[in-house]
Amino acid sequence: MSLLIMIGLFLLWKLELAATLLNLKAFPSEVPKVLEGLMDQEKLDQARNYLRVNARFNILQSTVSLAVLLAFWTLGGFAWLDTLARSFTSSTVVAGLIFLTLLMLGQSLTSLPFEIYDTFVIEQKFGFNRSTPATFIMDRLKGLLLGAIIGLPLAAAVLWIFGNVAHAWLWAWAFVTVFQLILTYLAPTYIMPLFNKFTPMPEGELKQEIEELGVKCGFPLSGVFIMDGSKRSTKANAFFTGLGKQKKIALFDTLVDKSSKPELLGVLAHEIGHFRCGHIKQRLAVGIIQMAVIFFLLGLATDPGGKFSRLLFDAFGVKEISPHVGLVLFSILLEPVSKLLGVLANAWSRKHEFEADAYAAKVTGDKISLGEALKKMTADHLSHPSPAPLRVWLDYSHPPLARRLEALAGK
């Protein structure tokens, strides 16, 4: 079984490499017609260079990550870490938390140099980075603290359920689902402000038209905010937060600065379209079902008397079957499968993006402004104007720019 898992991980790495190389080859040599006026030849060359630099970086990062995993695995790292964690305590739950914490810290330390290089070398070189070293450090410290405050109790509850409750997968799934829904409701008020400043949009024509758009779409807003996205990057975005009647919209300050009022309204109408077309509820329902399947399989992977769990633990050289080790080993086993499932999820998401674009064009009566906003974001972000089909198939949750513009034009 260990050989099959290794082959699966290697084939996944090869597939990503092939998609990256094909994507580089697909980059146009001349400015596409749809971007004329927004991107000159110099900026197109800059976008190509940005893609090339990121491609090399991602290949290196994925290669190192795979090599570290295989080395840790073949050298008996999982069994060693499990023994080390158990040496601190007789409690299986506490030992599990120690095991998971040490593993997560190890992964964080491995990825930290790549994060630093990505932020302060690549993004800095191409004019995107606005993060200071102090902001970068505080973000990581806050992330670790939140992981401890939120993640450890959640992990402890799941480990206890799997170690003490009949039909554990079902109860663990129900608990995690409720926990995530509560977290989604609380995050905009208590978690997101820890990282960014949300300032209420000043009264004025723009705010009034945004609120009128919400009412027109049957989507009343409880708040309109400007987020200091420029604190970390020059890239622009917008998003909705909240559940039920507590729907708020956050506009990156970079988006407000770079967009005309019709373009902003087009982008917001697109986001509203996801709600009005039922995409959010659909994705939530599918996510809950998918999580149920994962927890069911996780139950098989952590069953002390199960044949599958025994094969899995033997493949990684771990003698004693336990929920905390099974959780990690199962996540590794699931990675190639998750990639394939992600292909289906991305195809579904691209369909939703087309539907949201169509909704925005209909409700605003202005498909041109939405198209211009999409063009600006592609040019400003130095995005690939015509990505390779394999890259789109594997990773793109949004359709390529040309396809979205064709759909808006009714072609």
Is 90 exceeded by the pLDDT of residue 187? no
What mean pLDDT value characterizes the chain? 90
What gap in Å lies between CA 180 and CA 347, rounded to an integer? 25
> Residue 122: pLDDT band by 50, 70, 90 thresholds?
very high
Q: Is the pLDDT of residue 186 over 90?
A: no
Report the distance separating Cα 239 and Cα 164, nearest Å.
Answer: 41
Q: Kindly tell me if the per-residue pLDDT of 225 is higher than 60.
A: yes
Determine if residue 115 is labeled as part of a ligand binding site: no
| 203 pLDDT tier (thresholds 50, 70, 90) | confident
Provide DSSP, 275-323.
Answer: HHTTHHHHHHHHHHHHHHHHHHHHHHHT-TT-HHHHHHHHHTT--S--H
**Least confidently predicted of 81-95, 141-155, 251-265, 347-361:** 251-265
Tell me the β-bridge partners of 249. Answer: 224, 240
Instruction: Tell me what the mean pLDDT of segment 333-342 comes to.
Output: 82
Structure-token pair, residue 396: 């793109």
Mean pLDDT, to the nearest integer, of 368-394? 90
* Res 341 pLDDT > 90: no
Taking residues 57-80, what's their average pLDDT? 95
Q: Do residues 291 and 176 make contact, with C-beta atoms less than 8 angstroms apart?
A: yes
- Please compute the mean of the pLDDT values over residues 215-240 and round it to a whole number: 83
Annotation-wise, does 209 bind a ligand?
Answer: no
Of the chain, the percentage scoring pLDDT greater than 90 comes to: 56
Which residues are CB-neighbours of 271 under 8 A, at least 6 positions away?
238, 239, 240, 249, 356
Structure confidence at residue 246 as a pLDDT band (50, 70, 90): low
pTM, to two decimals: 0.87
User: Is residue 368 within 8 Å of 263, Cβ to Cβ?
Assistant: no
The 8-class DSSP code of residue 248 comes to E
Phi, psi of 241 (to 5 degrees): -135, 160
The residue ranking higher by pLDDT, 219 or 26, is 26
Whether 274 has a binding-site annotation, put simply, is yes
pLDDT given for residue 157 in this prediction: 96
Is residue 176's pLDDT more than 60?
Answer: yes
**What pLDDT was estimated at residue 243?**
63
pLDDT in tens, 205-221: 888 888 888 888 887 77
Among 280, 279, 276, 283, residue whose Cα is nearest residue 360: 276
**Residue 101: predicted pLDDT:** 95
Active site residues: 271, 357
Segment 40-58 mean pLDDT: 93
pLDDT at residue 244, rounded to an integer:
62
Lowest mean pLDDT, pick from 73-87, 111-125, 240-254, 259-273:
240-254
> Are residues 348 and 34 in contact, defined by beta-carbon separation less than 8 angstroms?
no
User: Token pair of 309, please?
Assistant: 């769990």
50 and 11 Cβ atoms separated by less than 8 Å: no
pLDDT band for 250, please (50, 70, 90 cuts). Answer: confident
What number of H helices and E strands is found in the chain? 17, 4
The whole-number pLDDT of residue 242 equals: 65
Q: Indicate if the pLDDT at residue 241 is higher than 60.
A: yes
Per-residue pLDDT, 254: 86
pLDDT of 140 reads: 92
Cβ-count burial of 329 within 10 angstroms (0-12 exposed, 13-18 middle, 19+ buried)?
buried
| DSSP conformation letters of 259-276 | S-HHHHHHHHHHHHHHHH
- For residue 96, the model assigns a pLDDT of 95
How much of the chain is helix, strand and coil, in % rounded to 5? 75, 5, 20
